[in-house]
A and B are shown apart, each in its own frame.
Chain A
Amino acid sequence: MSYIKTPAIPLFLAALLFSIIFLMPSHAEHDPSTSLSGPKFSDHSKVYQMPPEWTKQPIKHESSAKDADIAVTLDGQLYHAWEPIINKYADKNGLKVDVTYGTCGLSAGKLLRKSADIGGFCCPPSYTDRLPGLQFHTGGIASIALIVHPDNPIDNITLEEARKIFMGDIYRWSELKTSEGVKGLDEIIQPTARLHCKIRPGHWRLLLDDEDLFSPMLIEVGAIPDMILQVAKNPRAIGYEILWMARYYADKGKVKILKINGYDPDNPLDVISKKYPLYRVYNFTTWEGEGVANRHAKGILDHLLNEVEDLDPKYSFIPSSRLKEAGWKFNRNELIGEPGM
């Protein structure tokens, strides 16, 4: 009993606990490439200030949608998945809806011009997208897949390797090994990127924050077909694309999807648990406030957020409900942070 009371022991235990807590490197510090990743989300609390006359300006549909009860502009990827659902809803509820195919930039442009009631983005909003009265609602997220030529034997790389490849630090495939330990091709790697939506956080910026971090040898392409074409035609190439498009062409034998850190982009659990690190965020927007809020918008939005649960699996869409369950951070309907952020 006497030695238990000796203060050396508690002191030792305290020192040990201190060592464990403070000396053990954190995950972020251990990952040397974390600093290469850009912001995943913008500050939701910051709203871009617009002149008062703009704020007073009501929503006015463009000529093509002048008779529509509600005008919707969607990024191309959202359009494919959601346009039929919106139209079905409109038919059911006797609404005239004008759904236009576009991009994040076009959605942002229309919202800025106040010509659309609902917008759709394939990225988290930038500061300049957060216009007064505009509310973002996250439908879900989907993996971004790294893709290579089908003849490339590499099937798995680490996120660090991926970053080094796109930065040009790893420039031959033979510097990598397959999951079976076979060396990659003795060929120079051709990184290919689609650096869209540069002002918005997330998406490709989860790989490398800035376009200046990418290799000088980088081939920049403007559209999904260009990306697929570059990778499908060049056995040395590596690129990335949203999973459902990558899967579509992989199933046709045009490209091959790589695992990252041994995790498959097809597995939603790995994405939710952040083991698979690359993803895109899909947001819808609605207006709040007098003169801008459309009375039908809420109904459509609710319908969209409900339907996301039953969306065709080919879109590899991970609905917000599952993210919420897993501890991803939301402000109202908008995804604003990963778990632990």
Chain B
Amino acid sequence: MKPEKEKMNPIYSLTAFLHQRVSLTLKVIVLTVVVGISLWALLDQLQSSKLKKVFYVQLVDELTEEAMIDRLSLDRYIKSHHKLAKLLVAQENLINYIEKQVWHVDDNIEIKYYDRTPPWYPKVSALRIFAAPRYALLLDQNGNVMELYMSRHNYQPTALLSQITPLSLAKSYGQSLVTSLNGLPYVIASRPLKKSDGSLKATLMLASPIDEEFLISSLGALTPGHLIALASQDDDPKILTSSNLREIAKGTSLSTLEDKYLITGQQFIDYGAAEYVIKLISFIPVKEVDKITNEVIRIGRQQRNIIAPAFILIFASIMFSLSTRINRLNSQMKDFSQQKLGEMKNGLTKGDQLYVLENQFQMLTKKVVESQILLKQQAEENTRLIVDNAFDAIITMDQDGTVTSWNPQAEAIFGWKQSDILGQRVVDTIIPSAYRRAHEKGLEHFLETGEGNIFNMQLQITAVHRDGHEFPIELAISPAKRGKSYFFIAIIRDITERKKYEEQIKSSLKEKEVLLSEIHHRVKNNMQIISSLLKLQSDQISDANDLEMIKDSQNRIKSMSLIHEKLYRSKDLSHIDFSDYITDLIRALFRSYGVSSDQIAITVDIKDIMLGIDFAIPCGLIINELVSNSIKHAFHEGTKGEISVSMHKAGEEMLLTVSDNGVGIPDDYNIRDSESLGLKLVSMLSEDQLKGKLDYSITAGTRFNLKFKAVDNSK
């Protein structure tokens, strides 16, 4: 947030206005045009400068080559004086002329001047192939100038006539001597003309001042603007002459020309025949260079003039497209905000699209953050309410074993106020001394290995109340990690009352179990008494059928008595191991009927079936009847037989099968119409009491199948 004082600042206001209120599209277009034009101007400046530099370097290179050519041309022109002199002395005209001349030498030597081609000199047209010396002189044998031809009228070579020395004459015999006469460079070439006896008759001397005309003639057609000059060699070289004295005047300091000209060359005129240091310098006026470079720059500028607007247009189009998309995004964000977060006040809708987007985004972000905080607060409040109102005590402990939270129920259970226990160690407050060592070791082990055998399960242990008494609790501990540290959540329930009830129930149950066992025992005893009574009574009955009946009744009572015996001997008093029971029952029947297992083999196939008394008694009676029938009627006397009893579970049903391999019952025999009490009893118990389905078959003996729904309590 900007301070109010700053907001009052007009510059700030203008900046803010431009930043926030002016359309992005407009700003981008204006910016693109401004930056584009500035960039164009900058590039133009840079490219022009660079181009000029490149051109200058290029031109200097070219000028260096040009300078070399200049110097070669000048060399040739200078040397051609010597060559022409050689040629002239061999010319017949000159030889004949000299032969005829008798020069009288006295104190007043009169030089014969020619302003037209003298008779001893080649025609002007013939000289065009050579250098055209400015002066041709004939000297007598003593070195006195006798005749002088001047190719330019009225330019008497005063210096030449006064400063020719025998030494310079001698030096110019074999070469074009470059010397200085009155400060002006001269080229002089001489050749002797000898008499027939070899003595010197005369000397031909050709001489030219190296001046503006000389330079122009030596170089022929010069490139426009291309200038050459001769300069002295000293600390501040001066122009001796130039090919354009109006442009570069004699005596001009070379250093003053550096701004106006590209200067190169600066080589000696030398072939061992120059007595003065004279430098030949080539110049190109900077304005000539600029003329060339400006033309190239102009072409480049024209190209940029086309390219720059094209780029600006393309950029502006792209920005316009982007602005449109940003507008769309703004609109979508606005809709979303309104729909999901409600109407947002102070939201900008016009102005800089990016600013609006930024603004929308900031508001959205703020709203989302606020919502998150609210949700978090709500969640925390919910959690707090849950914890505070939980039926159980909920406490947390950090990995140092210190209590970090403590809900009201914990206060109620342990007697510790939250303000008192927070920051105290669990081990010092609520854990009984007997468990403290185990608690510390367990915590240590968990922190080292991440393993613990008390987590995420319900434990029943004892805890210590603030007043010192210990009481039972049910405890579930869950470890959790926050960052790199563990903390532990314990949910604790005081089970003092429950334990008390449990003890009472246990005690009551025990009493009932004893009572029930006693009942079963008494029922069994009573049944045994009934059986014994029947036995005593059977001693007084002689009729076999009656005896049979008594015996059957006795066996039926035994089968029921055996169940009660099994029940009171069993642990839970309500279920018996049916296999064990049937085995004992059949054994009792075999004893009752005096049958040994050698005569009738018995197979019991019942495994792991526990039945309650409601099913065990009818099933026991049915088996008792069917096995008794098989023992009594299935086998002829003296024959061996086999009886099988099996009971299996088939889904929700029990399948009880009793079979023998005896003679079987007659085909037309119907057990439901039977007069036999035993089979009637079987039919009645099967269908009425067990609600089962009984069928039988008589193939290879008799086979009874009974299906009924019963609860197996084996598991």
Contact = CB atoms under 8 A, between A and B. Distances in A.
Given A106-B274, A123-B272, A223-B270, A199 B175 contact: yes
A105 B270 contact: yes
A223 B272 contact: no
Given A63-B234, A102-B277, A221-B72, A196 B271 contact: yes
B72 A226 contact: yes
B272 A200 contact: yes
A198 B275 contact: no
Contacts of A198: 174-175, 271-273
Given A106-B268, A106-B276, A108-B275, 4 more contacts: A104-B272, A199-B173, A221-B75, A223-B270
Interface string A171-206: 000000000000000000000001111111000000
Contacts of B275: 105-106, 108-109, 112-113
A105 B180 CA distance: 13
A196 B269 CA distance: 11
Contacts of A2: none
Nearest to A64: B234
B579 to A, nearest CB: 117
7 contacts: A64-B234, A100-B277, A106-B274, A196-B272, A198-B174, A222-B271, A226-B68
Contacts of B72: 221-222, 226
B68 A106 contact: no
Contacts of A194: 271
B226 interface: no
B79 A220 contact: yes
A195 B79 CA distance: 10
A196 B170 contact: no
B271 A106 contact: no
Contacts of B233: 100
Interface string B173-206: 1110011000000000000000000000000000
Sorted nearest first, the 6 A-B pairs with minimum C-beta distance are A109-B275, A197-B272, A196-B272, A222-B75, A196-B271, A198-B175
Nearest to A219: B72
A63 B79 CA distance: 30
B76 interface: yes
A221 B75 CA distance: 8
A53 to B, nearest CB: 12
Nearest to A121: B272
User: How many A residues are at the interface, by size bracket?
Assistant: 20 to 34
B267 interface: yes
Nearest to A122: B272
B543 interface: no
A62 B234 contact: yes
A341 interface: no
Interface string A216-239: 000011110110010000000000
A267 interface: no
A64 B235 contact: yes
Interface of A: 48, 50, 62-64, 100, 102-106, 108-109, 112-113, 123, 127-128, 194-200, 212, 220-223, 225-226, 229
Contacts of B703: none
B650 interface: no
Contacts of A123: 272
A210 to B, nearest CB: 9
A220 B76 CA distance: 8
Contact of B274 (A103, A195, A200): A103
A223 B173 CA distance: 22
A106 B278 CA distance: 10
B551 interface: no
Given A62-B234, A199-B175, A226-B68, A105 B274 contact: yes
A232 to B, nearest CB: 13
Nearest to B82: A198
A113 B233 CA distance: 16
A155 to B, nearest CB: 29
Nearest to B178: A105
A109 B274 contact: yes
Contact of B276 (A104, A109, A197): A109
Contacts of A62: 234
A50 B268 CA distance: 28
A327 to B, nearest CB: 29
A226 B65 CA distance: 11
Interface in B669-711: none
B558 interface: no
Interface in B161-181: 167, 170-171, 173-175, 178-179
**Residue of B79, B86, B175, B235 most packed against chain A (CB within 10 A):** B175
Contacts of A197: 271-273
A229 B65 CA distance: 11
Contacts of A106: 268, 270, 274-277
A225 B266 CA distance: 14
Contacts of B271: 105, 194-198, 222
A24 to B, nearest CB: 35
Contact of A50 (B75, B79, B167, B270): B167
A51 to B, nearest CB: 8
Contacts of B277: 100, 102, 106
Contacts of B276: 106, 109
A49 B276 CA distance: 22
Interface in B55-71: 68, 71
Nearest to A108: B275
A106 B268 CA distance: 10
Contacts of B174: 198-199
Nearest to B173: A199
B62 to A, nearest CB: 15
Contacts of B274: 103, 105-106, 109
A123 B268 CA distance: 18
B171 A128 contact: yes
**Residue of B86, B171, B179 most packed against chain A (CB within 10 A):** B171
Interface in B250-291: 267-268, 270-277
Nearest to A106: B277
B170 A222 contact: no
A341 to B, nearest CB: 23
Contacts of A48: 167, 170
Nearest to B169: A128
A108 B68 CA distance: 25
A109 B234 contact: no
Nearest to B78: A222
A48 B273 CA distance: 17
A212 B86 CA distance: 10
Nearest to B83: A211
A199 B273 contact: yes
Contacts of A103: 268, 270, 272, 274
Given A63-B234, A64-B235, A128-B170, A222 B71 contact: yes
Contacts of A225: 68
A330 to B, nearest CB: 24
B300 to A, nearest CB: 34
B218 to A, nearest CB: 13
Contacts of A128: 167, 170-171
A141 to B, nearest CB: 17
Contact of B273 (A100, A102, A105, A127): A105
Nearest to A103: B270
Given A103-B274, A104-B272, A105-B272, A112 B175 contact: no
A229 B67 CA distance: 14
Contacts of A195: 271
Interface string B512-554: 0000000000000000000000000000000000000000000
Nearest to A212: B86
Nearest to A199: B174
Contacts of B68: 225-226, 229
B270 A199 contact: no
Nearest to B167: A128
B265 to A, nearest CB: 11
A107 to B, nearest CB: 9
Nearest to A220: B79
Contacts of B267: 223
